[in-house]
Amino acid sequence: MERNIKISSVDNMREARVNIFKSFVYVFAIIGFLLIMVLFRNSFWFESYALEVPTITLSEEDWAKSVSVSISYPESIAEPLYQTIKNGVESEIKEYTEPFIISSEGDTEVRAFYESGFISRTVSNVDITPPTEPEIYLDVNLMSEDKNIMLQVSASDLKSGVSSVNVAIFNYQFQRVEDYFELDMSDITMIGDTFNIEIFDTVGNKRTYSGYYYSVYDYIEDIREYTQKFYSLGDGSQFTNARWAEIVSAFSNLEMAFKSPLIDSSEVNSLKNLIDDLSEGDISFSSRIVEPLIGMDSNILYAVSTENLNALLGSEIVLEVSNPVLSVQEKNDYKELLKTLSGFENIDLYCFKLELSEKTGEEVSLSGSMNIDFLIPEGCTIVKLFDLEEGIFEEVPLAESGERRSGRVYSDGDFFLVVDLDSIEGTRNGYTINGRYYSLELFWGTIGGIIGLLLLAFFIPFLLIQYKDKLSSNKLLSKIRKRNLERRKEKRR
């Protein structure tokens, strides 16, 4: 029984090996057949089974105004037929006899038929639209030594793209710069009141533009004149910073006026006059601190505006900062008056004087304005500034920035800073010494500390002396005791 089972198992294994071998043979046979089909597909063996189809050829692969379409049919096709489809609309099926032209823009599908279907090609490279109307821009740069007047043309084409731009009437050639074209007109004298621009796209479509650009013709000499004028001013070191900023701003505004096709002649003339006035002269400012400002924690910072001082062009102005000369009685009277005007019950008062004069010493009036900026006395938070002019106190509005205050004044003279002592945190009474406020607690605490230090300075040396004397006495007693002991020993002997 066991022998029969073993024989049966061996037979089954042999049968499995045979089946696997047959499977490999079938697979390799199929692969071999496919390789033969591929390698010899063009041989006479398969020639009678090959399918012949038409061939469509286009005269232009790039952009063109029109495209010629040729169709080549094999001899096996007895009736050569074709059809075109434009915007989803199918034409009638026609017999092909000769090449035909496609001259309309958009996608045109061409179908060539054979026995069981058709082949197709799409024509989408026709461009018959000229470039769009140009955008003309005059780039005036009065503050540049190079290319002061650039006529720029920004042209575009929706299909093949712009290839060149010409000013046809004068035959000036524009240079391409990135996506626009420009012509340097700095040295060109143009005659006439119009100019023509021709724009060509890649396939030769042309757009002609004729226009009148006011600033090119009417103001070209002004542009050149004020370009030279700007560079004649150099780096502006002969002007104050404020005046030079005004001059540069005026030139910038004149540039913008020249660039506008709808230029306003009155605006141009106004800006030219402003530049002429600003360039004729300037006010030179200097300052000096005559003496330290008593009671103030820092000197006053100031900035004088020159915008309304045109009558003083060329003058040298000196601004002096000092303490006003006030008697004790005057200061006390002002203090009582300002206490009422400020609305503060408990105040301290600081005074300073600003005086504006020419370098020769002659006084001048401030017809413009002046910004002042100062650090308020330490510890206070609420202050008011008053300007004394012709015996009348006028409050100067102040802006806060931390411990600093700033304001705009419209005249020089005496100024009074009123400090609300009640605004000093934790104090209502105290003393002001050299511009610093000390509360009573801080004042007496400081005095007590000083007295304590003086007492320590006295008692520490006293105690040291006492300690030293005691050490000396103990040392002397020790010597005496030692001597007495030695004498007793000698007597016993």
Highest mean pLDDT among 28-37, 257-266, 293-302: 257-266
Q: 63-107 pLDDT, tens per residue?
A: 999 999 999 999 888 899 999 999 889 999 999 999 999 999 999
Predicted confidence at residue 107, as pLDDT, reads 94
Q: 418-462 pLDDT, tens per residue?
A: 988 887 754 445 555 544 555 566 666 777 777 877 777 666 766
Q: Among the listed ranges 212-221, 469-478, 484-493, which one has the minimum average pLDDT value?
A: 212-221
User: What is the average per-residue pLDDT within 47-59?
Assistant: 77
Predicted confidence at residue 487, as pLDDT, reads 73
Q: Among the listed ranges 41-45, 406-410, 429-433, which one has the minimum average pLDDT value?
A: 41-45
Predicted confidence at residue 10, as pLDDT, reads 47
Q: 350-399 pLDDT, tens per residue?
A: 888 887 776 666 666 666 677 787 778 777 788 898 888 878 888 889 88
CA dihedral 467, 473, 479, 485 (to 10 degrees): -120
Predicted confidence at residue 91, as pLDDT, reads 93
What's the CA angle centered on 248, arms 245 and 254, to 5 degrees?
A: 140
Decide if pLDDT at 342 tops 70: yes
> Inter-axis angle of helices 265-280 and 220-232, to 10 degrees?
20
Nearest one of 426, 431, 436, 349 to 384, comparing CA atoms = 349
Decide if pLDDT at 109 tops 80: yes
Buried b (16+ CB within 10 A) or exposed e, 15-41: eeeeeeeeeeeeeeeeeeeeeeeeeee
Decide if pLDDT at 213 tops 70: no
CATH of 55-123, one of 2.60.40, 1.10.20, 2.40.128, 3.30.70: 2.60.40
* Structural domain boundaries in the chain: 1-49, 55-123, 221-280, 284-425, 444-493
Residue % of the chain over a pLDDT of 90 = 16
Decide if pLDDT at 41 tops 90: no
Q: Measured between alpha carbons, how far is residue 435 from residues 292, 296, 417, 491 in Å?
A: 12, 6, 12, 84
Predicted confidence at residue 401, as pLDDT, reads 82
